[in-house]
Amino acid sequence: MSVDAIRPKILRLPGLPPAPAIDVAEAPAAPVGLSAYFGMSRRRFRTLLGGLLALFVLLVLWRDIFIPVGSGNAGVLWSRFGGGTVMGRRYDEGEHVIWPWDQMTVYDMRLQEMHGAVPLLTSDGLQVSMRVTVRYAPRPNDLTVLHRDVGPGYRATVVWPDMVAAARHIVRQFKPEDLSVVGEAELAARVEAAARSAVARHWVTLDRVLITEITLPPRVQAQIQEKLADEQKALAGPFLLRQAELKRQAWAIEAEGVRAFQRRAGVSLVKWRSVDAMDKLAQSPNSKIVVLGGGGNSSLLLDPGRDDSAAVGQAKRVEK
């Protein structure tokens, strides 16, 4: 279609000069769409739209691009297009920027601990329970190897199984009653020595193994208590014999004194005590009845002031 065909026809009035012709192809195009709505050129609108889109993508991928490594931590980078785990490089504390398609795993490098109860078997097949606390930390220089070969779950994969295996190896050498004799501190030192080398092979440093409680079967506990009681009795035996010897010597000295008294007084000690009892009876303000035996060798004292049958039961017989 030619330009003349689309050129508008102008009504010509008589006596007026003709209007200038306007070339439609050379006329500037008016802005249309969102750019016209916001009152800006298309180029400017496209630049603004691209910036907003880039900002939106940055906000969505913020956590995948900017990786914070906190205090006491270290990171290991896995590169999707760079051969996987980046070996030999540890990302220390601070903010790190990575590609959004890569991944960074953050490890706690400080001293950590685990607690748990471990069922164990002794040398005679009895089961005991032991509560254990393990303190450990990953080796900083071997962190990338630990991440590649073991992973973030190294606590449950390496540390705890190696410690349990060492504890079972040590406890299997003792009988249940011997565990209480060895003591928790000595037993923990042996378990720690056995577990340290096993854990070190997996790029982890074992700091300490603590045994907080050892639970024996009830029957074994009762036997141990009986054994301890028997040992206490055995230790008390010489003391009891010494006490008996002292009592025997005291009785011998007392008997020798009685014999010396009877030789000097010419009267038996029993008769002397009978006379002394009659003297105290005569000094008493209460009335008494003295019943002499047929042979005159003894007397029975009754208290007439009491009318119950207990008065007869409290009678005092004095040898005369």
Model confidence over 82-98: pLDDT tens digits? 889 999 999 999 999 99
| pLDDT of 17 over the 60 cut | no
- The distance of Cα 117 from the centroid of its chain, to the nearest Å, equals 9
Of all residues in the chain, the percent with pLDDT exceeding 90 is 35
Query: Residue 309: what pLDDT?
Result: 43
Chain CA centroid to CA 310, Å: 67
* pLDDT the model gives residue 61: 80
Separation between Cα atoms, residue 34 and residue 55, nearest integer Å: 20
CB atoms within 10 A of CB 155: 16
Q: Residue 64's pLDDT is what?
A: 85
Give residue 256's pLDDT band: very low, low, confident or very high (50, 70, 90). Answer: confident
At residue 287 the predicted structure's pLDDT band, cuts being 50, 70 and 90, is low
Residue 313: pLDDT band by 50, 70, 90 thresholds? very low
Mean local confidence (pLDDT), 211-238: 73
284 phi, psi to nearest 5 deg: -75, 140
pLDDT the model gives residue 77: 95
Round the average pLDDT of the chain to a whole number and report it. Answer: 77
The two three-digit tokens of residue 190, written as one number: 């042996």
Q: How high is the pLDDT of residue 63? A: 85
What is the spatial distance between Cα 289 and Cα 312, in angstroms, rounded to a whole number? 12
DSSP state of 15: T
Residues forming a β-bridge with 114: 134
Mean pLDDT of 106-126: 91
Q: What is the mean pLDDT of residues 162-189?
A: 87
**How confident is the model over 145-156, as a mean pLDDT?**
94
Q: Token pair of 104, please?
A: 């960074």
pLDDT above 50: residue 310: no
Q: What is the mean pLDDT of residues 116-137?
A: 90
Amino acid at site 122: T
Summarize pLDDT for 29-85 with one digit per residue, the tens: 545 555 555 667 777 777 887 888 888 887 888 888 899 999 999 999 999 998 899
Torsion angles phi and psi, residue 306, rounded to 5 = -110, 125
R_g of the chain, CA atoms, integer Å = 54
Is a pLDDT exceeding 80 seen at residue 18? Answer: no
When pLDDT is cut at 50, 70 and 90, the band that residue 237 belongs to is: confident
